[in-house]
Amino acid sequence: MPLVSESMTFRPRSGREQICSAGTCAVTRFVANFPSMIWRNRIWFLCALILSSALSGWAQDTVDSDLVRPSGVNGPVRKAKAVTEKDADDDAESAAPKPKTSKSSHARSHRARAKSKDTDDTIPAPTEFTPDGIPKTSAASVIVVDANSGRILYEKNADQVRQAASTQKLLTALIVAETGFLDRPVTVQSVDTMCDPVKLGIKSGETYQRMDLLRALLVKSPNDVARCLARDNAGSVEGFAQMMNRRAVQLGAVHSHFVNPNGLPIPGQYSSARDLSLIARAAYANPTIRSIVCLPQLVFRYSNGRTRELENTNKLLRRLPYCNGMKTGYTDGAGKCLIASGTRPGKDVIAVVLGDSSSRVWRDASALLSWGLLL
């Protein structure tokens, strides 16, 4: 018996039927695989998120590695927390002790300082000028000089005898740099730590490289480091003060007298804007000092291995692209002081501002630098 009858005939499917059948199969497969596709997409998204986080961490390590590090420090830097309120204030170098306050008043004063700091950062450059086109300043004593030729571009009460505060650490650093042997170790003694209020916290018996201490001195301005370098260089702070006075006379700064290496108030210690400009010019010409004062921050390693990032007290380094140094200072008697240097192709200028206020010192110095560089 035939398996196929004559009435049973086969005909080929039309093109449309073939397409519809293929499409139906594809839809069926898609629907069947849809749950697994969702999970695959989620897994890919999670992998991409993890990879992005890893790349962000690598980028941060790269940024940290660009900081200037002390000798022997490798790998990522563990930032130390500020240990005292004094460390948080970049320029608080006054020797006057602070009265104790309650927690509420301390919180209010902290908020007031933060608000004042924000206000200082946003105040525009002064727009008032003298008839000669020179920016007006509120500082007690000012001088602007050409760093290369020494030509005086502007002065106001430049010979007025005043406290120099920590700006005189430029002379301390200059003597240390000129003495040389900056790779030699320095062992801290207890007498080095007998000073207030801004200290790095080095301790008796610890050993540091002379270059690392010099960098910390010029960037963060700690008074204990200044005493340590002075005693290491001359045997005693008193002996180093004699070296400071001899070097000042050699530079022509004959109307100054120094008693300590850090600028803390002491009877018989004084200088002037003109004398400090002479010292600043010599420091600016020293390649070691010039390579340090331009650093916005650096990493200091303590002898126990702990590292701490030090931010430069000179705020102009972060505000003005043409500023390349130099040194801040403050005591109650000296007021806000700043020696600032700036450069553009073919010209270098140094501005010395003494006895200014907290709200004006940065504006005054930046205006004088801008004016001097554009002459």
pLDDT digits (tens, 9 = 90+) for 255-269: 999 999 999 999 999
Q: What is the pLDDT of residues 130-146, one digit of tens each?
A: 888 899 999 999 999 99
Name, in order, each residue with C-beta under 8 angstroms of 158's C-beta and a sequence gap of 6 or more. 141, 142, 143, 152, 272, 273, 274, 277
pLDDT at position 7: 41
CA distance 220 to 168: 14
Q: What is the pLDDT of residue 73?
A: 46
Residue 41 is predicted with a pLDDT of 64
- pLDDT attached to residue 80: 36
Is the separation of the CB atoms in 292 and 215 below 8 Å?
yes
Distances (CA, A) of 283 to 22, 28, 93, 169, 347: 85, 82, 21, 10, 17
Q: Under a CB-based contact definition with an 8 Å cutoff, are residues 68 and 299 in contact?
A: yes
Q: What pLDDT, on the 0 to 100 scale, is given for residue 49? A: 59
- pLDDT in the model for residue 197: 79
Domain assignment present for residue 246? The answer is: yes
Write out the E strands in the chain. 141-146, 152-156, 185-187, 207-209, 297-301, 307-311, 323-331, 335-344, 347-356
> Is 158 within a domain?
yes
Q: Count the domains in the chain.
A: 1
Would you state the pLDDT for residue 63? 38
Answer yes or no: is 5 within a domain.
no
Structural contact between residues 348 and 341, judged by C-beta atoms closer than 8 angstroms: yes
Whether residue 18 is predicted with pLDDT greater than 60 in this model: the reply is no
Tell whether 111 is covered by a domain. no
Q: Is 35 among the domain residues?
A: no
The predicted-structure confidence for 181-192, as pLDDT tens digits, reads as follows 999 999 999 999
CA dist list (Å): 89 to 104, 133, 136, 312:
20, 34, 27, 11
Q: What average pLDDT does range 224-230 have in this prediction?
A: 98
Q: What is the mean pLDDT of the chain?
A: 80
pLDDT of residue 11: 45
CB count in 10 Å sphere of residue 295: 19
Question: What percent of the chain shows pLDDT beyond 70?
Answer: 66
* Domain-located, residue 352: yes
CATH code at 175? 3.40.710.10
Angle between helices 223-234 and 210-220 (to 10 degrees): 140
Residue 351 lies in a domain: yes
Name the residue among 182, 339, 319 with its Cα closest to residue 275: 339
Confidence at 243, pLDDT banded by 50, 70, 90: very high
Helices (H), 123-267: 169-179, 210-220, 223-234, 237-250
Q: Measure the CA–CA gap between 33 and 152, rounded to whole angstroms.
A: 83
What's the pLDDT score for residue 69?
Answer: 53
Q: Which domain holds residue 259?
A: 128-374
Q: Model confidence over 154-180: pLDDT tens digits?
A: 999 999 999 999 999 999 999 999 999
| pLDDT at res. 32 | 54
**Which tokens is 344 given?**
């553009």
Intra-chain end-to-end CA distance of the chain, in Å: 118
Interatomic CA distance for residues 292 and 148, integer angstroms = 19
- Assigned domain for 202 exists: yes
Task: Output phi, psi for 147, to 5 deg.
Answer: -65, -25
CA distance 202 to 208: 9
Q: What is the pLDDT of residues 69-115, one digit of tens each?
A: 555 444 444 333 333 333 334 444 544 444 444 444 444 544 455 44
Q: Which residue from 78, 89, 85, 93 is spatially nearest to 302, judged by alpha carbons?
A: 78
**pLDDT band, residue 42 (cuts 50/70/90):** low
119 or 372: which leads in pLDDT: 372
Interval 274-315: pLDDT, tens: 999 999 999 999 999 999 999 999 999 999 999 999 999 999
Does pLDDT of 58 surpass 60? no
